[in-house]
Amino acid sequence: MVANMSQYAWLLIVSMGLVTFALRLSFLMLNGRLVFPPLVQRALRYVPYAVLAALVVPALFGGREVDFAVQPTRLIAALVGAAIAWRSGSVLLTLTLGMVTLWLGKFLV
C-alpha cells in the first residue's frame, strides 16, 4: 500500500513536470513560426486571475468539497490575509499574519 502510494506520487510528479515543460517549450520549439490570434492572447491574460481566485475558495471550506459548512476561523483568517495582501503586497507578511490569526481563532474557539 505504501509502495503504491509512493509510485502514484512519483507518477504524478513526473507527469506534472512533463505537462508544464510542454507548455513552456511549445512555441519556443516552433521557433516563432506560429502565434495565437489576438483574442486568445487576451483571454490567456485572465487565466491567472480567474484560477488563483478559484483556488482560494475551496480552502475556506476546510479543503473538502463534501463539507459545505464554512469554517468561521478559516474565513476570518482569509479575510485578514486578504487585507494584508492588498495593503502590503508581501507574501511573507500575508502568510505570517494569516496563520497567526488562524491559530488565535482555533485557540479561542
Partner 1 sequence: MEPRARPRAARALLVCRSASSVSRDVIMPRVSGSQHLPPDPDGRQTVAESGGASARTTFLEGVRDITPMVLAVTPFGAVAGLAAVGSGLGFHEAVALSALVNAGSSQLAALQLYAQGAPLLVILATTLVVNLRFLMYSMALAPYLHGVPKRWRLAVSHVLVDQTFAFAVRRFGDRPGAGHRVAYFLGLGIPLLLAWNGGTIIGAALGAQVPAGWSLDFAIPLTFLALLLPAIRDRPAAVAAAAGGATAFLGLGLPYNLGLIVAALVGIAAGLLAERRWWRT
Other CB atoms within 10 Å distance of the CB of residue 80 = 19
Single residue of 1, 3, 4, 19 touching partner 1 by CB under 8 A: 19
Round to whole Å and give the CA distance between 13 and 20: 11
- The DSSP secondary structure of 5-32, one letter per residue, reads HHHHHHHHHHHHHHHHHHHHHHHHHTTT
Q: How far is the CB of 65 from partner 1 (least distance, A)?
A: 5
- The DSSP secondary structure of 20-81, one letter per residue, reads HHHHHHHHHHTTT-----HHHHHHHHTHHHHHHHHHHHHHTTTT-TT--S--HHHHHHHHHH
Q: Which of positions 41-70 make contact with partner 1 (CB under 8 A)? A: 41-61, 63-65, 68
Q: Which of positions 63-102 make contact with partner 1 (CB under 8 A)? A: 63-65, 68, 74, 77-78, 81-82, 84-86, 88-92, 94-95, 98-99, 102
Q: Tell me the number of residues near partner 1 by CB under 8 A.
A: 74
Single residue of 1, 28, 69, 108 touching partner 1 by CB under 8 A: 28
Q: How far is the CB of 73 from partner 1 (least distance, A)?
A: 9
Residue 7 touches partner 1, criterion: CB under 8 A: no
